[in-house]
Amino acid sequence: MRFRSRFPKVGWTLLAIMLSSGHGFPQAIVKTTKNPLKSFAVAVGGDVWHVASSPLRMSKDDALRLTSFTLMSAGVVYGIDQPFHEEFVLQRHSFYTSPGGGFVKPGELYDAIGSKNMALGLSVGMIGGGLIFNDKKLLETSRLMVESFLIAGAITSLGKYILGRARPYTGHGPYDFNGLQFRPGENFLSLPSGHATSVFAMMTVIAKQYPQWWIKIPAYTLAASVALQRIDSRNHWPSDVFVGGVIGYWVGSMLVNHTREKSGKILLDPYLAANRAGVRIRF
């Protein structure tokens, strides 16, 4: 009993491998060959389920973060939206926008291109580069970026119709919510911001996959510019872009982290045959 308690589990695994016959040992280590299309479908389905089932895995820390986020969002709605809108949008404060457009220029370009076209262009370019240079990480980044764009967009679209918040240009003020009324048109789809959600979802994936400063800074700068442009154009309140940005960042981060967890796993299966025994390693 003392020997077993001190003998590590890894030792038992190695012992099982060594018990296999000499010619059987090399065959005990197997790298499985997978169908690319099937692997892609499984990866996408797994990512979607991982995000959708996240409430079922919520820990106390997650619940605390969600509560903090909800309180912060409410604080922005009732404490910042109106004064910020009056000071920096209606008055065109120089700190917010310079005569030449300043910091919101990249956001205006993003708005002119459109979120869907931007996602399509980035994904096509990244897929093309990945295929030409046989860069698996670039292909993986493209997949995660599109997944993040679609999943975060679905969450935001649902939130828009549930909350029914009036946009700033309607003149209804920041406290006009028409929850579950599902009004037609865009006038009451302010919260969360779809543009902020989409750009933060995509840029977060890119920045986390390629954490070099010369990639992260431009990526998040573009995301911030898009968010400010949506406020400057009177399409959204500050809280709209705050909530949308957090949703995009959360989904992008979750997908990247989930992919890293999957890629780091090595699975051990018992290997039994007529004349050999051991462990099959799948990775």
- Write the pLDDT tens digit of every residue in 183-231: 778 899 999 999 999 999 999 999 999 999 999 999 999 999 999 999 9
DSSP bridge pairs for 279? 270
> Does residue 264 register a pLDDT over 70?
no
Residues 168, 187: Cα–Cα separation, whole Å: 9
- Residue 240 pLDDT level (bands cut at 50, 70, 90): very high
- CATH match of 35-265 with 1.10.3470: no
Mean pLDDT taken over the chain: 83
The total number of residues shown for the chain amounts to 283
Q: What is the pLDDT of residue 3?
A: 47
**Domain ranges, ordered by start, for the chain:** 35-265
- Average pLDDT for 227-251: 96
Residues 147, 263: Cα–Cα separation, whole Å: 17
DSSP bridge pairs for 281? 29, 268
Least confident of 161-175, 209-223, 254-268: 254-268
Contact 197, 252 (CB under 8 A): no
pTM of the entire predicted model? 0.81
Residue 184 is given by DSSP the state: S
User: Each residue of 69-88: pLDDT tens digit?
Assistant: 999 999 999 999 999 988 87
Residues 47, 70: Cα–Cα separation, whole Å: 25
Coil, helix or strand at residue 281:
strand
Residue type (1 letter), 172? H
Using left for φ > 0, alpha for ψ between -120 and 50, and beta otherwise, residue 182 falls in: left
Q: What share of the chain is helix, strand, coil (3-state, %, to 5)?
A: 70, 5, 25
Tokens of 239: 């809280």
Bond from prior residue into 99 cis (ω within 30 degrees of 0): no
Q: What is the pLDDT of residue 42?
A: 86
Residue 216 is given by DSSP the state: H
What are residue 216's phi and psi, to 5 degrees? -65, -45
Degrees, nearest 5: CA angle 231-234-237: 50
- Residue 96 pLDDT level (bands cut at 50, 70, 90): low
> Does residue 5 register a pLDDT over 60?
no
Least confident of 29-38, 50-59, 209-218, 266-275: 266-275
DSSP bridge pairs for 267? 282
CA–centroid distance for 134 within its chain:
24
- Residue 33 pLDDT level (bands cut at 50, 70, 90): low
Q: What is the pLDDT of residue 131?
A: 94
Contact 254, 51 (CB under 8 A): yes
Name which residue leads in pLDDT, 276 or 106.
106
Q: What is the pLDDT of residue 180?
A: 86
> Does residue 21 register a pLDDT over 70?
no
Residue type (1 letter), 15? L
